[in-house]
Amino acid sequence: MFDGVSVEAVRPQPDGTLGITVSYAEALWPPAKRFSCVNVGGLLPAQADEVEDDDMTEREKIALRRRHERAYQQRLGRAKACILPEPVRGEVVEMVRKQGRVSARLLQRIRDCVQRWYHGEGFVCAQVINFGNLDAGEVLCEVVEGEVTGVEYQFQDKLGNVVEGNTQLPVIDRELPQQLRPGHIFNIGAGKQALKNINALGLFSNIEVNPRPDETKEGGVVVEIKLKEQDPKSADVETVWNFVPGDQGRPTLASIQPGGGVTFEHRNICGLNRSLAGSFSSSNLLNPQDDVSFKLEYTHPYLDGVEDRSRNRIFKASCFNTKKLSPVFVAGPNMDDAPPIWVDRVGIKANITENLTKQSKFTYGLVLEEITTRDESNDVCTHGLRTKATGALGMDGPPTTFSGTGVDRMAFLHANVTRDNTEFVNGETIGDRCIFQVDQGLGIGSRNPFFNRHQLTVTKFVNLNKQEKGAGKPPPAVLVAHGRYAGCVGDLPSYDAFALGGPHSVRGYGMGELGACRNLLEVATEVRIPVPVMKNTHVYAFAEHGTDLGSSKDVKGNPTEFFRRAGQGSSYGVGVRLGPLRAEYAVDHNAGTGSVFFRYGDRF
């Protein structure tokens, strides 16, 4: 930085101290006509063995300088081009042009400008280490960009001691972004993405991704990944005691019903992220056949092999038993409540899911199941129920199953294609989502059901005020446009008819209150306005409409007409969302009345 430093004066001070004046002669070089930047990572030489000595003759000094110059030029000949963009180069050239002669202060400004760009783009290991060719009318900036030379994995126990891990390294390695692989420049954004990807595996309780200097290659960076594995096995037991009123309306010891459930999971089988999970629950463990639900699922990722990084097909197989209240056999607004019908499904399912693109995935598989419809007493129910004018219970409603016996067995193929281009902009969803689902009956089972059920759902989230993504910036106002079409060709059991109305269909109505149909069309729109003074809060207004497209009469027994439902309806309203909770006021356009609802999660 300096051509010379000298002590000009030493003056005694009245307090007994000495005043010293030191003059610095700043180093200056000829005006530069060119600027270039090279990456010398991995080419840093050791300190030169030969240095100038006072005992050397002038000729020996000149020869030594020439040898150093030749070694320097040979080193630069092996250097690689750096990634500094042209706009930054142009900024430096303009800086040099305005300055005239090159000074040490100018070189510091150039260094700060170059490093500021690297660090601003996430290349936090890059640094300027030298300037060359200054006597030749050029500013040659030598940069170490921080090239990744290797990736090291370290498994730790709960106390931080290094241990041998169970997870196979290719399972983790395939989650690393390309930017973190050897030969690429380390970027902090790629490190954060690796952290996110590895965490998504669900195998580790703690993950650290840190760069450190490579001791074997100067200027290189080793990416060190520290991992703490979760316990591979877990189990949970929950019990619930129900006190059921006895004959005199009071609970007794004999009327106590113990209920509960058991869940277990075995993760990361063979270190390949395979898992086996199961759950069992019942509200009455003394008589579990009355109300039992179970599921056993095996997940097998990397169906094409862990080493095949071009695709990741996931195989899942499960056996299940579910019991849900049917929205098909419910009363309309103009009749007394109908006794509920429960749909009990027992079966097995196997499917494969693969990512077609980063935003699209395709799931396909086979389902075999037995469906039983039951009444409130858990008895098999063959027809829908309603209360007659005399107060008696009528069982002349629509058949609940395709076979008419209350029990169906069937096999069908299932496929689902999802294309999701949505992203979070300051906490709000922006983009579009499209889902197409189809179930194809195979003609196997009770009365050989052969059918094709299909659904298409399209939702678009529009950034109304073009709010940009960024930390501390407010969320945007959002316009939501939503449409759904569903249809069925062929045999259709009543319990699989499409239910119209409800919190996920047309708000302001109960589940299935508008009808049960073969085809339906739903459209909805919603405007969301963020509340500036409250985080994760917005107010919204919505309008929705749903119609059975005249297909309710084609459902066997016409449940829509039997239960006096309209077959179509509209609603509109306003609401406020506080975190995951929604409170909304919706107007039933058919009846012209409004109601307040409380829901969890978004409608779309």
Give the H/E segment covering residue 221.
strand 220-229
- pLDDT (0 to 100) of residue 47: 45
Mean pLDDT, residues 175-190 taken together? 93
- Domains 149-229 and 301-600 equal at CATH topology level: no
Distance CA 464, CA 423 (A): 15
Other C-beta atoms closer than 10 Å to the C-beta of 389 total 7
Nearby residues of 479 by Cβ (< 8 Å), 6 or more positions away: 461, 462, 464, 525, 526, 527, 528
- Please name the helix (run of DSSP H) or strand (run of DSSP E) that holds residue 109, with its range, or none: helix 104-120
In this predicted structure, the answer to whether residue 530 has a pLDDT above a threshold of 90 is yes
φ/ψ of 323, rounded to 5, equals -135, 115
Q: What is the CATH code for 301-600?
A: 2.40.160.50
Domain boundaries, the chain: 2-50+59-144, 149-229, 301-600
Closest CA to 291 of 264, 317, 261: 261
Whether the predicted pLDDT of 527 surpasses 90: yes
Beta strand spans in 283-392 (E): 292-300, 314-325, 342-355, 360-374, 386-387
For residues 365 and 352, the answer to whether their CB atoms sit within 8 Å is yes
Would you say residue 284 has pLDDT above 80? no
- Percent of residues, the chain, with pLDDT higher than 90: 64
Q: Tens of pLDDT along 478-516?
A: 999 999 999 999 999 999 999 999 999 999 999 999 999
Lowest-pLDDT choice from 63-77, 305-319, 368-382, 441-455: 63-77
pLDDT at 319: 97
CA distances to 18, 393, 416, 484 from 14, rounded to whole Å, are: 9, 115, 91, 92
> What are the backbone angles phi and psi of residue 498, rounded to the nearest 5°?
-80, 125
Greater confidence (377 vs 328) lies with 328
Q: What is the pLDDT of residue 225?
A: 96
Residue 46: pLDDT over 60: no
- Higher-confidence position of 283 and 508: 508
Chain Cα centroid distance, residue 288? 38
Closest Cα partner for 224 from 176, 272, 164?
176
Are β-strands 34-39 and 80-81 bridged in parallel, bridged antiparallel, or unpaired?
Answer: antiparallel
- With a cut of 90, say whether residue 406 has pLDDT above it: yes
- Give me the pLDDT at residue 219, please: 82
Q: What is the per-residue pLDDT across 208-262, written as a single tens digit (0 to 9) for each?
A: 999 999 988 878 899 999 999 999 999 998 888 766 666 666 666 555 677 888 9
What is the model's pLDDT at position 50? 64
Least confident of 2-6, 158-162, 339-343, 445-449: 2-6
What is the CATH architecture of 149-229? Roll (3.10)
pTM score: 0.81
What is the β-pairing status of strands 498-500 and 478-490?
unpaired
pLDDT exceeds 80 at position 272 = yes
Residue 111, token pair as written in the block: 């260094």
Adjacent-strand bridge partners of 276: 266, 298
What string of DSSP letters covers 516-574? Answer: EES-EEEEEEEEEEE-TTSTTEEEEEEEEEEE-TT-GGGSTT-HHHHTT--SEEEEEEE
